Amino acid sequence: MKRYYSAMNMRRDKSVRAFGRACKVLVGGVDSPVRAFAAVGGGPAFIERAAGPFVYDLDGNRYIDYVGTWGPAILGHAHPAAVGAIASAVRRGSSFGAPCQAETRLATLICRAFGSVKKVRFVSSGTEAVMTAVRLARGATGRDKIIKFAGCYHGHSDALLVAAGSGATTLGIPSSAGVPAGAARDTLTAPYNDPDAVGRLLKKFRGKVAAVLVEPAAGNMGVVAPAKGFLSGLRKLCDRHGALLIFDEVMTGFRLARGGAQELYGVRADITTLGKIIGGGMPVGAVGGPAKIMDNLAPLGRVYQAGTLSGNPVAMAAGIATLELLQNRRVYADIERAGRRLETGLLRAAASAGLRGKICVNRVGSMMTVFFRGPPVRNYADATGSNIRAFAEFFHAMADQGIYLPPSQYEAWFISARHGPALIDRTIRSATKAFTRAARLM
């Protein structure tokens, strides 16, 4: 069904034409699949600019933004400090392919925030960071197998594009064409929030598992918080079986707390992957951990990794400006208040629309998802039981009122420091109308 936002004050003519032109030269008209709106129907708004908590499309429509460029915009879009740092850096050269002091400065800020990280290797994306972390874990342990969790997305490298089958001991099955079975053979899957399933895998493949890889607070099946004892249970299991624990904090790092999920939940990872916020909106990723693990990377060790744009000076400058501002912990307190206000308001709005007990709002700090199914949502199986038709109706109803949400039931909403009480309350009022529309499909 071809559908665009329908409100009279939300004309989309320019976006429609732009999408048509893009489809002629870009695959699907986009450069990342979720942007095509296939999960909700219709076509995307083409964004022309962003500032603070808002994005503006080609037709001049303004939206309160809860995508936040999928996480990095914790301080709001185009923060003056980041923009100034980028402008200053690019005047000195956009890329060197050689060491620069900005790399050391940004790595130092990361190490100060994460107690488990003593050394850092910068890369250019979250996908590349996790791919490197897995290779590093295998090289450091001399083992091949990796355990990941159903519904946790760790980028599009071959070995991690694996879907869970039935049961905790299911071997990896490629979930994308072009991924050979051999590439996924050593990837094992378990249900999220089920440490017992991980224990069974570690026993079955005793001495063969290099690492357990997890989003400490999941954000790629929608937001799913770790159950009490889940992360600490993984830590104990890894210690017992000689496997490394990898926290994919590409989303959660510097978002849930300055020290990420590790600070929030008090569980130490052996290897940490970061991205998004540490680049201040510029493309970046990082792998970090103690020296005894990190020094396995070339040029000190035998695990090879390289990249021309790794440590790009413009991305480093934007990251430094952002992380320096995030040293003010009041930012996190303010965002937590905004998140709590939005969560409770959405639950009230749903109840007023007759959806009490029929939706689930999962939130961890400034990350949240509204699932169109009754609570609880604890894992991938729960999440995929959502009513995606009702979500699509809700999504379009919110967009009609100028609220820009992720165009998929299975993505996280992101709240920024610029989402003040007035914008949160406007979002809740819009949600009351949107839930009423969606209720017809529940």
pLDDT for the residue 162: 77
Catalytic site includes residue 153: yes
Active-site residue flag, 63 = no
Mean pLDDT of the chain: 94
Instruction: Give me the pLDDT at residue 83, please.
Output: 97
Of 211, 282, 247, nearest in space to 129 by CA:
247
pLDDT score recorded for residue 9:
54
List the catalytic residue out of 186, 276, 332, 334: 276
Backbone angles phi, psi at 149, to 5 degrees: -120, 140
32-46, 224-238, 390-404, range with the lowest pLDDT: 32-46
Token pair for 96: 């060197």
Q: Which of 4, 5, 66, 153 is catalytic?
A: 153
The answer to whether 254 and 216 are in contact (CB under 8 A) is no
State how far the alpha carbon of 102 is from the alpha carbons of 106, 225, 284, 306, 320, in Å: 6, 34, 13, 18, 8
pLDDT tens digit sequence for 238-263: 999 999 999 999 999 999 999 999 99
434 within 8 A of 394, measured Cβ to Cβ:
yes
From 65, 186, 248, 270, the catalytic residue: 248
311: helix, strand or coil:
coil
CB 361, CB 343: distance < 8 Å: yes
pTM of the model: 0.95
Nearest C-alpha neighbor of 367 from the set 390, 338, 408, 327: 338
Domains of the chain: 13-74+329-439 (3.90.1150.10), 80-325 (3.40.640.10)
20: exposed, middle or buried (C-beta count within 10 Å: 0-12, 13-18, 19+)? Answer: exposed
* Run of H or E residues at 363: strand 360-364
Query: pLDDT at position 164, please?
Result: 35
pLDDT bucket at 174, cuts 50 / 70 / 90: low
